[in-house]
Every structure is written in C-alpha cells, then in structure tokens.
Amino acid sequence: MMTETASPNPAMGTDPAAHLVVVFQFGKVASTAMVDALNDHPGIEAVQSHFLGDGALQSIFTSMLNPALSEYFFYHQSGQLFENVKLTRRIGRILSGDDDRTRLSVLLTVREPIDWFRSALIQDARGLGDVFLRTKDRHGLVGDTLSAIVQPAVEAILGEIVEVLTPFGSVDSFLADRPGSMAKMRERMTDPSLQELFYAAVRPFNWHQLNFDPVFHHTLDDLTFQNGLWSLRAKRFDAHLFRYEDMGALLPNLSAALGIDDLVLPQRNVSEGKVFSAEIRGAFRSANAQALARLYSQTDYSRRFGYDPVASALGQPSMRSAPEMRPATTPLDTATAPGTDQTGKPEAQSRAAASILVCPSCRSASLPVSDETLICPACAAAFPKLGTMRDLRTDRVADTALDLESYDAHHDVTLASAETLFGHYEARLHSLGPGTKGRALEIGAGTGNLTLGLAQKAEFSELWITDLSPRFLERLVDRIGRTGSIERIKPCLLDANALPFLDSSFDVIVGHSVLHHLLAFETTLRDTYRCLRPGGAAMFGDPMMDSHAIVCMIARQILTLAEDGVGPPVSDGTRQVLEVITQRGGLKSANLCDRDARVLDHDDKYVFPTGFLRDLCQDIGFSHVAIHAEPGHRDLGGDMRRNFLGTVRGTPARIEDLDPYLPLFDAVTTAYTPGMGEYSMSLFAYLELVK
C-alpha cells in the first residue's frame, strides 16, 4: 500500500492490484508488449494511455467533430477516447489523495523524432490511402496504383510540413507561437487528415507538455538522469522516462525502479510487415526528409535526449554520445536523496552546469555554458561578459532613464532596509508554497532595494539578478560583494520585456517596482509563467491605480473648492500642479491601451488597476492570482497624503496653499479603511502568482 511519500521499493499491499503502472503510448513503441509483461507480475495493473488531461481531451474532441476527418482517423481516435477518460479520472483520484491505497507509476518513452514519425506513418498507412490520392492530385504526381504513388506522396507531404515549419526556424519556435502558428498551418493545410499528419510530425516535441505536465504538475526538467533513466519520485507517484533505443539494455534498471523482478519483452519489429512500409521508408531517405530532420535537430528535445535526426535521415546512427543534462531543481514535493548522474558527479552539480539561457536575438536556441562570450549556435549572435555581468541585451546602448545617484538617495538602499523588504517577500512566498529555496530570478534589481536581502537571507541555490542598466547592476554587484554573499549570484544585463530563459527554469521569480517601467509588461508576465516550474511562485510590487485614482479626485476637489471660493485660494503654480495631478491617473491608465511614443518617453509608464492585472494573469494561466496591500497598511488616507505631498515638493506648488485641504485625506481614512478588509487600495501593492 502506498505511503504518503513513495519509496523506491514500497511494499505491495493486500489488494490484487495495489500498483498501477501507466504506460504512455508515445511513439507507438513497444507499449503493448510492456503492458503485457507488467501484467504478468502479481500486484501490478498496467494500462496504456494515449493522452491525458483536459487540454488533450479537448483537442481530440475538436478533431473528431470535424466532419471532413477521414473515417479511419475518426474511429481510431474514438476507440481511444473512453478508456483514456476513465484513466484520467482514476489518476486524478490518486493525485488528489482520494485514493491513497494505490501506488502510481508512470512510464514514458522518447524516440528519435524522424524515426518516430516514419514509424507512425507506417502504423497508420492502411488508413491513409485517400490522403495519398489527394496528395497525388494536389501535386500532379504520376502513378496508376496506390502502391506507386505512396513514396512520392509521402515525400510531397514531408515537403509541405517543411514549408509550414521553415519560416519559424524550428519546431520549438513554431510551438512557442501557438495558437497563431497552428492557425497559419491550417490555412496552408486545409485537408483535416493532412493536418493530423502535421500534428503527428510535431508530436514528439510537445507531447509531454500536453499530456504529462498538466496532469502531474511537473515538467521534464523535474526528472533527474540516473542509471539510464530520467526519474522523479513525487508525493503520490513516481515517473520514469527512457529512450526507446536504450529500452532493451535498461529493462533491469526499469525493473529495479518499479520494485519488481526483471521484465522480459518480445523482441520483434511488427512494422516491417506493414503495408507500404518499404515505400514510406524510401520517402524518408529523400531531400524533404533531410530538410525536416534539420528542423528537428534544432530543438530542445533532440539536444536533451542526445538525438541527431539528420544522421537518421541519412541512414546513419542517430545517437550522439550522451543526452544533454538539463537544469532542474529538486521539486518541492519530492523526497529522495541526491544521487549521481552518468558522469559520477552529484546530480545537483551536474544540473547547475547546464545553461538555462535562450538566445535573446533568435529566441530559438539555447546558449552554451561558458565563462567567456556566449555564441548562439543558431544565429551566431554574441553575448559578452562585462566584468562579472553577462550582457544579454540585444541593444548594447539600452539603459534606464533614471539617474543612479538620485535613485539611490531616494530609495535609501541599505542592507537593513533590504532585509526588511525581503522579510515581506519571504513570508508571502512561503505562504504561496515555494518559499525561498531552489533557483530564483529577480527582474529589475536596480541597486538592491530587495536584492541585498535576497542574497543575505534567502536559501536559493542560485539567484539570477537582472537589470537593463550596467551602472545600476555594477553598483549592486559591488554591494553584494561587500556582504560576502556573491557565490550563488548570477548577474545579467537584459531587457525584461522578454526574458531569455528556458521554460520551467525557476522556482521563484520576483520584481520590486519594475512592471510599471516595462513597455511590454504583459509579455514579461507571460514569460514569467513560462519560466516558472509548475507550482513555482512569482511576486511583484507595483503602484496600483485604485488608490491613485482617489488622489487624483482629491486634487480635483481642491481645485473646485478653491475656484468656487468655498476654500482658500491657491497660487497659479499650485493650480498648475494640481491640474497635472488630476490628469495623471487618466494618462497612466490610457497608456495601458495606447502604447505610442509618448509612453516611451516616461520611465514610470503605468499605474495598474488591480482588476486589470488580476484578469490578465488569470488569462495567462496562473492557478493563483492575488493582490495584497503593503504590510501594516491600515491608514489609506495617510498613505495618500504622504504620496501627494511627496509629489508636489520640488514643484511650483506652495505647500502652505495645500495645508487647509489636507483633512480631505483624513476623511478617506475614516470612510474607507474600516471596510477595506483584504482588498488592496494602497498606493503600492503586491501581485502574487502561482503557476
């Protein structure tokens, strides 16, 4: 029976099937034989799964309901549907804790992508006759029999797939541009069955994201490589992934991971006798297949698992030396001690050596690990080091409009103030789940208003601190160095409007007073979602419009009272400043909708309505979105008065003109604070997000 935290070899319970093993039929590779072999072991129930989760089920329904879909694909998919719906429900009960008697193991397989696609076409060849005939008509192919046109038809189909993918540069870039890229594909490929073949062509690269990640709330980055397997032992399940090409040699390792006797699988290749097998294999030696292989080779998938699709298309061995180790922090709900990777080094050290950077120029390739200038393998863009800082800016002259000295003086950055601010972030991050461990990213670190506390007090294994300005980041690095906390720090110059990091790279992402400076803050929030691992949290402190709007209204009220003679008059300079304040809230709100050159001229571009931010983040996909007031905030009017007076100081306004009107702010405290509760109406509030 399964305990709360699965051990490598948990004891079997008294139930006839206390251990459920889900074998994902990814790549049509030996899944039936694996299920049969596992079901020969007492206490194990093994089942195949073609897809899991809401997103996958919706895509199947969408495809099946298309009346133009071929009968073969319709019945093929409908035959899978009901069993997978039942299995999805059953897995959900285990993961939610409603079924705590069943141990759940998940087996996943990867395969060289060209080899997989070729095998998939061979498996489905008997249902593709109409597709081949329509391809013949579309391309004017010559042949009197179906057998004669299969090879040129498949070559033509491969060419059509290449034409769709080529403008994007790689499959990864195509998938990152969804749903727009899928719409473009359907414009070019109007035949629903041909669309199904396109989905098959890209399936190796997004299959886990569609089927594993959303159901099990982990990504492939959470699996660690040991003894030939990528494995994860989580609170209510364990998962093991292996390469199809290594399957025979890894059966003892897989048996040990599952806690059973050795598995024995029949060694046979049933695809050799399939109809049109020879013709399809011939098509995959064509120039179009080699072009597709080149697109396949520039993918995270091929690099991660050590595949060389171009070699496969040329009939050469596809396997490179060893699979590329990916950076992954230990998931919060795992409970295993660190092991060793294939090099014999501790896993944590091996993972830390891998790069999590994506080329900021082409956005399609991972940057290599190097202490020197980084060169993108796809577009050859170079990213040098400036002292200890990695310069990832695509525009090397880009900088903030803020003055370094006045900014520092205004914010009074000290270790004590930074630790106080960090204390608030720390408490909230612990309440959200991840706490202050794992890998963290700070966006727009400035000169250290939050960073010094993060560096001094947090337990992050890595803290990536970023800013657009070399002047600001250089001062911050110097400050951190004086505290003796520099070892875990990775300083980078970058444009926060587009984060150049791999998916699921961070456990925590924070930014203090940064979003309102970013022209494309929506993109930053979407990148934040992408770069967080499932269960990871983000937190941003920024000015909020709800209370700024009241400041604007009070400024208008002062003008009205003075002009009507109800209150004392104000000078011309004071009147001009008040008129500017009355318009400020509207202008900042208008900037959210109208991003013209006027917005670029301002460093403080926006003040955010809380409802606007909440809706945006929910649409992006965050599972938890909340906005909280500053800690200790109980005097709304007092906060507004301090902000108001701070705004008018140093302007032509006369403070003595305004003194008689300051009780208006006290009225706000009396009217609003008692009923405010958890609703944030402070001038500055904290956006909290969980993926």
Confidence of residue 336 (pLDDT cuts 50, 70, 90): very low
| CA quadruple 336, 340, 346, 347: dihedral sign | negative
**Number of folded domains in the chain?**
3
| Cis, peptide link before residue 179, omega less than 30° from 0 | yes
User: Is pLDDT of 471 > 90?
Assistant: yes
The one-letter amino acid code at 60 reads: I
- Domain around 644: 545-690
CA-to-CA distance for 202 and 115, rounded, in angstroms?
A: 13
Q: Is residue 304 part of a domain?
A: yes
Contact 138, 45 (CB under 8 A): no
SS3 string of 510-543? Answer: EEECCHHHCCCHHHHHHHHHHHEEEEEEEEEEEE
Contact 534, 213 (CB under 8 A): yes
CA-to-CA distance for 34 and 39, rounded, in angstroms?
A: 9
Contact 1, 18 (CB under 8 A): yes
pLDDT score, position 48? 85
Query: How many CA atoms are closer than 13 Å to the CA of 565, on its beta-carbon side?
Result: 0
Contact 69, 192 (CB under 8 A): yes
Task: Give the Cβ contact number of residue 140 at 10 Å.
Answer: 7
Residues 492 and 603 in one domain: no
CA-to-CA distance for 45 and 87, rounded, in angstroms?
A: 12
Percent of the chain exceeding pLDDT 90 equals 30
pLDDT score, position 668? 74
Residues 476 and 553 in one domain: no
Contact 173, 364 (CB under 8 A): yes
Q: Which range among 187-196, 308-317, 460-469, 573-582 has the greatest average pLDDT?
A: 460-469
Residues 549 and 412 in one domain: no
- Tens digit of pLDDT for each residue in 232-280? 988 889 999 988 888 878 888 888 889 888 787 755 444 445 778 889 9
Q: Put residue 84 in one of left, alpha, beta given phi > 0 → left and psi -120 to 50 → alpha.
A: alpha
DSSP letter string, 147-215? HHHHHHHHHHHHHHHHHHHGGGSSHHHHHHTTTHHHHHHHHH---HHHHHHHHHHHHHHHHHHHHTHHH
Task: Give the Cβ contact number of residue 260 at 10 Å.
Answer: 21
Residues 550 and 507 in one domain: no
CA-to-CA distance for 333 and 433, rounded, in angstroms?
A: 10
Domain finish residue from 296, 313, 330: 313
User: Of 390, 371, 312, 424, nearest to 688 (Cα)?
Assistant: 424
Q: Is residue 211 part of a domain?
A: yes
Mean pLDDT within 283-304:
91
| Separation of CA 191 from chain center | 32
Residues 559 and 493 in one domain: no
- Tens digit of pLDDT for each residue in 603-626? 667 778 888 888 899 999 999 999
Q: Is residue 672 part of a domain?
A: yes
Percent of the chain exceeding pLDDT 70 equals 80
User: Beta 44-49 vs 19-24: how paired, if at all?
Assistant: parallel
**H or E segment to which residue 628 belongs:** strand 624-629
Contact 99, 2 (CB under 8 A): no
Long-range contacts from 53-56, C-beta under 8 angstroms, 24+ separation: 53/88, 53/210, 53/211, 53/214, 53/215, 54/214, 55/210, 55/214, 56/210, 56/211
Task: Give the Cβ contact number of residue 393 at 10 Å.
Answer: 17
pLDDT score, position 588? 57
CA-to-CA distance for 189 and 187, rounded, in angstroms?
A: 6
User: Of 497, 435, 496, nearest to 465 (Cα)?
Assistant: 496
User: Is pLDDT of 341 > 50?
Assistant: no
| Positions of E strands within 276-409 | 374-375, 382-383, 385-386, 389-391
412 exposure class (CB count in 10 Å sphere: 0-12, 13-18, 19+): exposed
Domain finish residue from 292, 313, 334: 313
User: Is pLDDT of 592 > 80?
Assistant: no
Q: Which has more confidence, 7 or 49?
A: 49
Confidence of residue 591 (pLDDT cuts 50, 70, 90): low
Q: Is residue 196 part of a domain?
A: yes
Confidence of residue 4 (pLDDT cuts 50, 70, 90): very low
Structure tokens at 423: 């204390």
In terms of residues, how long is the chain?
691
Residues 492 and 605 in one domain: no
Gap between the terminal Cα atoms of the chain: 31
Confidence of residue 680 (pLDDT cuts 50, 70, 90): very low
Q: Is residue 220 part of a domain?
A: yes
pLDDT score, position 536? 94
Domain finish residue from 273, 297, 313: 313
- Tens digit of pLDDT for each residue in 53-75? 666 666 666 666 767 666 665 76
Confidence of residue 405 (pLDDT cuts 50, 70, 90): confident
Contact 506, 442 (CB under 8 A): no
Residues 589 and 496 in one domain: no
Q: Is residue 253 part of a domain?
A: yes
Residues 554 and 500 in one domain: no
DSSP letter string, 2-17? --SS--SSPPP-SSTT
Task: Give the Cβ contact number of residue 251 at 10 Å.
Answer: 17
- Partnered with residue 509 across adjacent β-strands are 441, 538
User: Is pLDDT of 632 > 60?
Assistant: no
Residues 506 and 586 in one domain: no
Angle subtended by helix axes 636-648 and 572-593, to nearest 10: 110
Q: Which range among 124-138, 158-172, 353-367, 407-421 has the greatest average pLDDT?
A: 158-172
Residues 81 and 196 in one domain: yes
- Tens digit of pLDDT for each residue in 543-578? 876 666 777 788 888 988 888 888 889 999 998 888
Backbone angles phi, psi at 417, to 5 degrees: -65, -40
Residues 448 and 597 in one domain: no
* Residue carrying structure tokens 């209370």: 547
User: Beta 624-629 vs 684-690: how paired, if at all?
Assistant: antiparallel
Q: Is residue 395 part of a domain?
A: no
pLDDT score, position 468? 94
User: Is pLDDT of 343 > 50?
Assistant: no
User: Is pLDDT of 185 > 80?
Assistant: yes
| CA quadruple 170, 182, 51, 81: dihedral sign | negative
CA-to-CA distance for 455 and 422, rounded, in angstroms?
A: 10
Residues 118 and 263 in one domain: yes
User: Is pLDDT of 184 > 80?
Assistant: yes
| CA quadruple 191, 193, 195, 201: dihedral sign | negative
Angle subtended by helix axes 572-593 and 545-563, to nearest 10: 150
| Separation of CA 380 from chain center | 25
User: Of 548, 357, 553, 322, nearest to 439 (Cα)?
Assistant: 357
The one-letter amino acid code at 584 reads: R
Give the least confident one: 65-69, 134-138, 319-323. Answer: 319-323
Residue 140: DSSP 8-state: T
In degrees, rounded to 5, the angle at the alpha carbon of residue 472 between the alpha carbons of residues 469 and 473 is: 85
CATH number of the domain residue 474 falls in: 3.40.50.150
Q: Is residue 4 part of a domain?
A: no
Please state, in angstroms and as integers, the Cα–Cα distance from residue 145 to each residue in 136, 151, 207, 271, 277, following that order. 11, 12, 35, 22, 16
**H or E segment to which residue 243 belongs:** strand 238-243
